[in-house]
Structure 1
Amino acid sequence: MIRIGIGGWVFEPWRGRFYPEGLPQKRELEHAASRLTTIEINGTYYGSQKPESFARWHDEVPEDFVFSLKAPRFATNRKRLSEAGQSVARFLDSGILRLGRKLGPINWQFLPTKAFDPEDFAGFLSLLPPEHGGLRLRHAVEVRHESFRDPAFVEMAAKRNVAIVLAGDSDHPQIADVTADFAYLRIMGTREGEPEGYPAGELDLWAGRAAALQEDGKPAGLKHVTDTARAVEDVFLYVISGHKEANPAAAEALIRRIG
């Protein structure tokens, strides 16, 4: 499935624009989940969430809805990544399993200053289990330093079925190589003056790229590190940052294009 959504769901400028006037704030997640097919939860990056919160989020969205989670910065913003075992374990035991089958990929995001250290990064990837508590886990790594444009990194991620987050249209290095059975895209180019965030042609382009990832793993016009390609089962595409007011409209426009 191609799933498309936004980052978070609490943003005051969306009220009266994406959210109907008068909609109670406690029903905003319910409304967003009725219009989108996935949401990336950002609060997990900044601090621990209560198990009860994950359970409530699970209950407020449809059965076929999926959340992705940004992993805690305490695990990724450190000198030695291979020493993050306790932080990783605390996060996995923090209640995320309460999401059940609505738990999608976990995005491990790194600082733009974090360079590729092959031995240390391999040690970090070894800390990411493919399952936990009987639930399958899907991991994605969002690296933002040019040194990661290295075939050794791509091969390392592929061996562990870890996706490399594709930075669609930001200043971060773009690595479009498919290294897992799913793809994780974050596009950040929405702009003021465009009712749907992007011109129609750009929305067509991103919808086509998402479809190509499912068909043969070879979306056009993106930067790869290696020549390898593989089709994926699922695509997760998030409209993030940019002109944030328009991000829900852009996500909905992409959903209409993929049918």
Structure 2
Amino acid sequence: MSIHIGIGGWTFEPWRGTFYPPKHLQKRELEYAGQHLTGIEINGTYYGSQKPESFANWAASVPDGFKFSVKASRFTTNRKLLADGAGSIEKFLTQGLTRLGDRLGPIHWQFMATKKFDRDDFARFLDLLPDTQDGLKLRHAIEVRHESFRDQAFIEMLRERNMAIVYADSDEFPCIDEQTADFTYARLQRSQEDVETGYDDKTLDHWGDQARDWAKGDRDVFIFFISGAKVRNPAAAQALIAKLR
């Protein structure tokens, strides 16, 4: 099984002394996270472009087998007509993210909760997403947050393109539980601050069973603990990794 479990980002002050040891060097936080987790969702790329050298340095800071997902720029998804976003998509994909090399996991395309399903426009947008970049295979995970996407036409257009619907376990947004690709991408968003591991043991057992089920048939699985009680997310990720081992 290839199951990668982690958190969103690695720089968060409340993690210093809870996840990172006291007085741990900030410049070595990613290295530490790479030793204790198996994946990280890079969120900074949503807000702005990064330098190619940054991607290369991030890749060099984590061990073999570690995977980064990369959150697509907001300028690619937060627009009235998605099909008009070719230039923004190209800018995002050519900023140097392929310098991650074999540490590159899926690209995470997140849409606002106000974005409704327009079949033709969405199909044209998906057609803009390439299968490769700089000779590196790309995998695309699509996170939608409006009930109108609970439509078989949407599900089938992703299945035809081998793109994953993000499984979003959240109190705020709909969860579309459909497997449409040869990998699964899940974002778990219900951690609780009064639970040391973010989720109680029974719930972590559930997600361990779910991860194994998703991984059947050699499917890669990416699970990220996001939002909720953010201070507890590294502990939740480590607890789930321990259960799967």
Aligned length: 244
SS in 1 for 2:185: strand
Q: Which residues of 2 match residues 156-195 of structure 1 at below 5 A?
A: 156-195=157-196
**Distance apart, 1:169 and its partner CA:** 3.2
Tell me how far apart the structure 1 counterparts of residues 52 and 215 of structure 2 sit (CA, whole Å). Answer: 33
Name 1:72's counterpart in structure 2.
Answer: 73
Q: Which residues of 2 match residues 1-259 of structure 1 at below 5 A?
A: 1-215=2-216, 231=217, 233-259=219-245
Tell me how far apart the structure 2 counterparts of residues 37 and 169 of structure 1 sit (CA, whole Å). Answer: 22
SS in 2 for 1:49: coil
SS in 1 for 2:215: helix
The normalised TM-score by structure 2 is: 0.98
Q: Which amino acid aligns with 2:167?
A: L
CA-to-aligned-CA distance 1:230-259 (integer Å, 9 cap, x gap) = x45200000000001100000000001111
Name 1:225's counterpart in structure 2.
Answer: none
CA 1:129/1:9 → structure 2, altered by over 3 Å: closer, same or farther? same
Q: Which amino acid aligns with 2:110?
A: Q
Q: Which amino acid aligns with 1:202?
A: T
8 Å contact from structure 1 (residues 183, 232) kept in 2: no
SS in 2 for 1:238: strand
Tell me how far apart the structure 1 counterparts of residues 89 and 106 of structure 2 sit (CA, whole Å). Answer: 14
Tell me how far apart the structure 2 counterparts of residues 169 and 91 of structure 1 sit (CA, whole Å). Answer: 27
CA 1:93/1:166 → structure 2, altered by over 3 Å: closer, same or farther? same
- Percent identity, aligned pairs only, is 57
Of stretches 202-211 and 231-240 in structure 1, the one that deviates more from structure 2 is: 231-240
SS in 2 for 1:246: helix
Dislocated runs of 4+, deviation >3 Å: none
Of stretches 55-64 and 76-85 in structure 1, the one that deviates more from structure 2 is: 55-64
Report the RMSD for the aligned CA atoms in angstroms: 0.8
Q: Which amino acid aligns with 1:254?
A: L
SS in 2 for 1:167: strand
8 Å contact from structure 1 (residues 180, 232) kept in 2: no
Question: Which blocks of at least 5 consecutive residues in structure 1 are unaligned?
Answer: 216-230
**Distance apart, 1:210 and its partner CA:** 1.0
Tell me how far apart the structure 2 counterparts of residues 127 and 232 of structure 1 sit (CA, whole Å). Answer: 27
